[in-house]
A and B are shown apart, each in its own frame.
Chain A
Amino acid sequence: MPEEKPVPASADVKNKVETLKKEDKPVADKIKAGHVHMSGCTGCEVAIADNYGGLLTVLDKYVDWVYDLTLADVRHIPKMDVALVEGSICIQDKISVDEIKETREKSAVVVALGGCACYGNITRFGRGGQPNQPQHESYVPIGDIIKVDAYIPGCAPTPQLIRNVVVMAYLLLKGTKEQQELAKKYLTPLMQLADRGTEACGCDLMYHIINQGLCMGCGSCAAACPVRAITHEYGKPNVNREMCIKCGACYAQCPRSFFNFDVMNEFEGIMELIDGALK
């Protein structure tokens, strides 16, 4: 009989005590946030990650990242201060519908992250027939199923807008009175966009900018378009409507969709504040 070897402590599964690994420098006042993944391409999540070092600072100082199918080992949607939802909702998929409702119940603030969650974006063109769930054919923005508090449009949304919103959301919940005021002013137009509805198209430039006598031909819409569907002909945008994916970036970027002087006039200070927060 071979001699029985002593079992190393690390291999002793039966008697292993669950220990929570504590942060070296716990930060008491972090907010709880997470990423909820619906019918999207994970491009929005990659945009979060594309903040690189800035993201690490955010996680160090401001945010406990409590839920994220791709990055965190948590199976069920927990209570959160801020839920960033990527992707639209397939109404034929019960799990998606249940989970977006659960997200609403458990989150103080729900932010639609990216074109699909805000406006449907490319998933608007879905009409089923794909393997392996060909009956999944109807995709709607999350605002058609639940109340959404703020939008971060764009396909993909930019790392810098996500960064700005996250810093402002933190200031709103945990900042000084002055910082809360500023954060509220900053976030207001993104909340108004959520309030405005779930449909977007390059046509918005016609309906709500040019038809309203507001276009001054700056070119922001063409710069913002992710699919180069917008050109400028004699100083006015011309939308190739066949190419438009309905992400909403052009309208949201236009300085004549919203322009809040009380925030914009402070641009220098705000950019310093955000830079400082991420150092």
Chain B
Amino acid sequence: MGTELGKYKLCVSARSADKEILKKAQDGGIVTQLFKYALEEGIIDGAIVSGPSDEPWRPRPFVATTVDDLMKSRGTRYNISPNVSFIKEATRSYGLDRIGIVGTPCQMQAVRKGQLYPVGLRDVPDKIALAIGIFCMENFPYQSIKQLVEDHAAMKLEAVKKMEIGKGKFWVYGERGQVVQLPLKVTHNYEQPGCHVCLDYVANLADVSTGSVGSPDGWSTVFVRTKNGDDIWSKAIAAGCFETKPIEQVKPGLELVSKLANEKITKNQKTVEERAKFGVNKALRNPYISPK
């Protein structure tokens, strides 16, 4: 295993000790539980999360300042929620001095770029108190999810209880108990194009990153990456917020995380290289080389 998992201080399999959180959690309820702890302990004043909106399964960035707010946002919605768009506003009209933010690997990249090169983020860099990243292979536009669920899975979006990507399939669970699985070959067509140049699977730049891959059902794999993340995570463990198991003792374990990370990075690195000779002596831009 090399650089594909990023730097980390520790990696465990974990789930929230709170039954209420787990009821609607995607997996181990890590994000909700860690923000809840940080909020209650005053480590953060609020967190930018993906909350529900007026359309079914369409997330919208939402500044949660209470545990109730966090509970409403449990679970994964597989389409774009521009959480970083609230990062300045959270310090302004919401008045947060210590911000929590959850996001995909690219959003964690945006947060760190915003701290090192805060072009338009006055007084924001020093207020990021806890950045939680989630594992991400790719994301979808809302319309893609709508087409996948309504056209391919033949279910109404309103009638869906949960969506999940795992074991090589896209799963749609209905409120009445029906389950439809779509092969990833179908979903690939509908992915957001910008994801295809992404070289990060496990949110290497987060304080703490988490996702289902590597852990048993109902549990999440957790990487603790920064000093800040380590500090908050160890306090949360001491406070009894999580049950944990050593990652070496769970199936399928870290090997699968590594495998998928390498698959994503290799595939997308190839895309980045192909973009260099996309046209006839004409290249598409490579953001990893220059802004030109």
- Bound Cα distance A193, B291 (Å): 6
The closest CB in chain A to the CB of B6 belongs to: A265
- Bound Cα distance A186, B291 (Å): 14
B173 within 8 A of A: no
Say yes or no: A196 contacts B119, CB within 8 Å. no
From B6, B110, B116, B192, A219 is in contact (CB under 8 Å) with B110
Say yes or no: B288 contacts A260, CB within 8 Å. yes
Chain B residues with Cβ under 8 A from A264's Cβ? Answer: 109, 112-113, 116, 205
Chain B residues with Cβ under 8 A from A260's Cβ? Answer: 288
From residue 208 to 233 of chain A, which have CB atoms closer than 8 A to chain B? 208, 212-226, 232
Chain B: interface secondary structure?
loop
- Bound Cα distance A222, B48 (Å): 15
Say yes or no: B195 contacts A208, CB within 8 Å. no
**Provided the pairs A189-B290, A212-B284, A224-B120 are in contact, do residues A267 and B115 lie with their beta carbons within 8 angstroms?**
yes
- Bound Cα distance A152, B6 (Å): 30
The closest CB in chain A to the CB of B80 belongs to: A235
A250 within 8 A of B: yes
A-B contact count (CB 8 A): 183
- Bound Cα distance A253, B109 (Å): 11
B122 within 8 A of A: yes
From B79, B110, B205, A218 is in contact (CB under 8 Å) with B110
From A213, A218, A225, A248, B82 is in contact (CB under 8 Å) with A218
Say yes or no: A192 contacts B291, CB within 8 Å. yes
B126 to chain A, nearest CB (A): 7
B188 within 8 A of A: no
A121 to chain B, nearest CB (A): 12
From residue 106 to 130 of chain B, which have CB atoms closer than 8 A to chain A? 106-107, 109-110, 112-126
- Bound Cα distance A98, B287 (Å): 37
From A153, A253, A265, A267, B121 is in contact (CB under 8 Å) with A253
**Provided the pairs A256-B194, A259-B287 are in contact, do residues A218 and B119 lie with their beta carbons within 8 angstroms?**
no
From A153, A192, A232, A271, B119 is in contact (CB under 8 Å) with A153
**Provided the pairs A235-B141, A258-B290, A261-B288 are in contact, do residues A222 and B82 lie with their beta carbons within 8 angstroms?**
yes
Chain A residues with Cβ under 8 A from B119's Cβ? Answer: 152-154, 157-158, 161, 224, 248-249, 252-253
6 example contacts (A-B, Cβ-Cβ < 8 A) are as follows: A160-B125, A212-B284, A216-B195, A218-B104, A223-B120, A258-B287
Using CB atoms and an 8 Å cutoff, list the residues of chain B in contact with chain A.
6-7, 58, 61, 79-89, 103-104, 106-107, 109-110, 112-126, 139, 141-143, 192-199, 204-205, 226-227, 275, 284-285, 287-288, 290-292
A-B interface, 8 closest residue pairs, ranked by CB to CB distance from nearest: A224-B120, A219-B85, A235-B80, A219-B82, A249-B120, A216-B194, A217-B80, A219-B84
